[in-house]
Structure 1
Amino acid sequence: MRTTPSHTPGPEDPAGGVPARPARLIRNEAATEIPVHLLFRDAPTPVPVPLGPAVVGRRQGTGEQPRPRRPVAARHRPVPRVDPDLVERPARVLPGAAGVLAGACGAAGCLATSWWAGLVPPSAAQSLGLPGHAGAGLGPAQWAAYAGAGALALFGLGGLARGRTGRAWVLGLFGRYRGTVRRSGLLWVNPLLLRRRVDVRLRHWRSEPMAGADASGVALRVVVLVVWRVRDTARATLGVEDHEAYLRACVEAALVRVPVETPGGAGGSAGAAGDALTRLVTADAGPVGLEVYSVQPLRVEYAPEVASAMHRRRIAALDAQYRASVLTSVVDSVEDTVTRLTTRGLVELDDRERKALVKDLTVAFCAGRGEQGP
């Protein structure tokens, strides 16, 4: 908008006098649009801010520069990480017949070396069908043959193992994972490998009372039933120190996050709590090779420190509910009685008489209910 200075003569502005202060008068009252860039032409050039999902655009006509929005971190629970190379794979084993054959060959080699050294009596050699031989005693060659045959016998017989259905062996050598044996029957496993037996059957675990809470934050004691099994023996054995203790910790953590149905609560919340517990425990136990099928609350009771107070509260709620039901029944009975009397024309009542009749009937019905008891 434009303003023009004007000189208006006043009483103090005679010829040769002091001129009065110039005044600013608005000649045009119509509002005109002022470009935004003119308001900030003396300001330094703003730094360009890239517009995107994390930037709020400026509002029209305000001259406000775009303001970057602080990125909001994604809210998620940290997932436990295990070595990605630690995955179950089958180990190399041989049938048990190979170990038996190697042990038999080693025993036969020891017997032949004894006969070669002349340590077998002639009578025993004849009974075994061996020709008589007068050996020169134990020399370096005989000792080497003994060592080889004995090592073969020990290596063959020491590697025999019996695999069972529902059980597995996790094999390791010098701290390195070498595979898992899930086969059953007589097997030969390298005796130099360290064996760890793992139960891979479907298992049920009934917990002891654990700490929990309901939707209102009241402390509870919850007993849960967990159905689970070991899916990846390598991660369950080598990924954590004790996978059973880890599963217990996962269940306790889930009970803290999920509200459980209180005693006498709504029946529909029990299934929802079980589903939520199952999802949380499955997500936590999956990375360590455990497969969880179900986590269901079996028994829910109040914690000892709040049990007495909640019991009194429950009794008071039941008493209030009973009183409300009695009052509703009395009111319905009084209304039905007065309606029938007036509808059939048995009595004609004005407002005062109706109120008196209602009062008397209410007292009578309440006294009758009190005599009958709950």
Structure 2
Amino acid sequence: MSTTTSHTPPESEGQPEEAAGPGGRSARLIQNEATTEIPVHLLFRDSGTDPVTVPLKPAVVARRQGIGEQPRLRRQPPVRRRPLPEVDPELVERPARVLPGAAGALAGACGIAGCLATSWWAGLLPSGAVQALGLPASAGFGPAQWAAYVGAGALGAFGFGGLARGRTGRAWVLGLFGRYRGTVRRTGLLWVNPLVLRRRVDVRLRHWRSEAMAAADPDGMALRVVVLVVWRVRDTARAVLGIEDHEAYLTECVEAALARVPVEPAGGTRGGVTAARDCLTRLVAEETGPVGLEVFSVQPVRVEYAPEVAAAMHRRRIAALDARQRASMLSSVVDSVEDTVTRLTVRGLVELDDYERKVLVRDLTVAFCSGRGEPS
């Protein structure tokens, strides 16, 4: 059997009497100088069952000024990073169809031979050369000769015009009428369709040393950082066709990563350049991966404070070094004094009372500090 116990505040506290609430339940009113009247109902059932379960909320310490109402706690939604725009999924590097260079050279030679034969057929060769070669007389120049000239000339131009030399570490991105037709990574003499548009791409392992870029240390002080980026083009189709300028995009990604990652100057104690290198490499690799670039390392090679704070930070570092040196010297002096006094007393060389011990410790400390302070 559950009972409900009500407590009636004394009249001296300025509380009003209980007022009847809906359903016959008693409602309690809270009223003072800074708040309005707020009904507070007892959260129990009239029957003998268990009380109503009410979810508890975090306590609020402050009240809204002027109205006496407690502010509502609004949970801030987590900040979600917008994903990078995806490149066309069909734009993936694939090998292009090319022929060995011998096929193009043979076609060009056939075209030249066809042009010579058509010249003899049209009677354009000197008569002395025709008689010396023992060739029959020509038939004259007509529409058939024109067609033979056009065909032989087109074959020769098509054969020799498609010859190309593939080099190690270089590739061609081929496109025909605005459509990607493949990538050529083969080396040696090749024959490529002369109608396609060729774009040369450097696919070797490359390194880029940046200019001084703005950054900040873990304390928010302005820095100037020079980084060395080791990278290469992994997917030529996405790097050339999926983005306007992949080298400029890499530069912007490095600058954006430096704005997000604190870089500690040399001699720091929070991970130094190694932690910054790992974090910068990971961020830049994530940003440039969708556009076909592969980043191996983004390493700060020179870190210095900005000109506006360089003098102040230099004085601060000198003061810190001086403080560490003084602390180290003091610890060494104390250890030396303690070791000397302990040896003298343990071996029984001297018998000291408290006053004499203090005097000896003082004299030894002054002597050791004076000796260590003299320049060598």
TM-score exceeds 0.5? yes
Which of 163, 167, 178 does residue 164 from structure 1 map onto?
167
2:243 maps to 1:233: no
Amino acid at match of 2:196: L
Aligned residues: 322
CA separation of 1:311/1:36 partners in 2, compared to 1, >3 Å: closer, same or farther?
farther
CA separation of 1:121/1:200 partners in 2, compared to 1, >3 Å: closer, same or farther?
same
CA separation of 1:128/1:282 partners in 2, compared to 1, >3 Å: closer, same or farther?
farther
Partner of 2:87 in structure 1? 82
Paired residue secondary structure (2:299)? strand
Partner of 2:110 in structure 1? 105
2:368 maps to 1:365: yes
Paired residue secondary structure (2:284)? helix
2:45 maps to 1:35: yes
Amino acid at match of 2:375: G
* Displacement of 1:290: 0.8
* Displacement of 1:70: 6.1
Amino acid at match of 1:62: V
Partner of 1:72 in structure 2? 77
Residue-by-residue CA offset, 1:278-335 (whole Å, 9 max, x unaligned): 2111111110111122222223222222222221111111111111122222222333
Amino acid at match of 1:111: L
Partner of 1:124 in structure 2? 129
Counterpart contact for 1:36–1:63, Cα < 8 Å:
no
Amino acid at match of 1:148: G
2:101 maps to 1:96: yes
Amino acid at match of 1:307: A
In the alignment, the residues of structure 2 paired with residue 68 and residue 85 of structure 1 have an alpha-carbon distance, to the nearest angstrom, of 48
* Displacement of 1:238: 0.8
What TM-score comes out, normalization by structure 1 length?
A: 0.76
Counterpart contact for 2:43–2:52, Cα < 8 Å:
no
Paired residue secondary structure (1:324)? helix
* Displacement of 1:358: 3.0
* Displacement of 1:171: 0.7
2:275 maps to 1:261: no
Root-mean-square deviation over aligned CA pairs: 3.1
Superposition pairs of residues 172-187 of structure 1, within 5 angstroms: 172-187=175-190
Partner of 1:44 in structure 2? none
Task: State the percentage of identical aligned residues.
Answer: 75
* Displacement of 1:131: 2.3
Superposition pairs of residues 175-324 of structure 1, within 5 angstroms: 175-266=178-269, 268-324=271-327
Deviates more, 1:158-167 or 1:205-214: 205-214
Runs of 5+ consecutive residues of structure 2 not aligned to the other structure = 6-41, 58-71
Partner of 1:10 in structure 2? none
Residue-by-residue CA offset, 1:14-55 (whole Å, 9 max, x unaligned): xxxxxxxxxxxxxxxxxx9932899xxxxxxxxxxxxxxxxx
Counterpart contact for 2:212–2:224, Cα < 8 Å:
yes
In the alignment, the residues of structure 1 paired with residue 288 and residue 47 of structure 2 have an alpha-carbon distance, to the nearest angstrom, of 60
Deviates more, 1:340-349 or 1:107-116: 340-349
Runs of 5+ consecutive residues of structure 1 not aligned to the other structure = 4-31, 39-58
Paired residue secondary structure (1:197)? strand
CA separation of 1:340/1:60 partners in 2, compared to 1, >3 Å: closer, same or farther?
farther
Partner of 1:62 in structure 2? 54
CA separation of 1:2/1:329 partners in 2, compared to 1, >3 Å: closer, same or farther?
closer
* Displacement of 1:222: 2.4
In the alignment, the residues of structure 1 paired with residue 95 and residue 156 of structure 2 have an alpha-carbon distance, to the nearest angstrom, of 26
* Displacement of 1:140: 2.8
Counterpart contact for 1:80–1:284, Cα < 8 Å:
no
* Displacement of 1:60: 5.7
Amino acid at match of 1:35: R
In the alignment, the residues of structure 1 paired with residue 46 and residue 148 of structure 2 have an alpha-carbon distance, to the nearest angstrom, of 103
Residue-by-residue CA offset, 1:127-150 (whole Å, 9 max, x unaligned): 4453233x43x3333222222221
Deviates more, 1:321-330 or 1:267-276: 267-276
Amino acid at match of 2:107: A
Deviates more, 1:230-239 or 1:215-224: 215-224
CA separation of 1:149/1:322 partners in 2, compared to 1, >3 Å: closer, same or farther?
same
Partner of 1:52 in structure 2? none
Superposition pairs of residues 148-159 of structure 1, within 5 angstroms: 148-159=151-162
Paired residue secondary structure (2:340)? helix
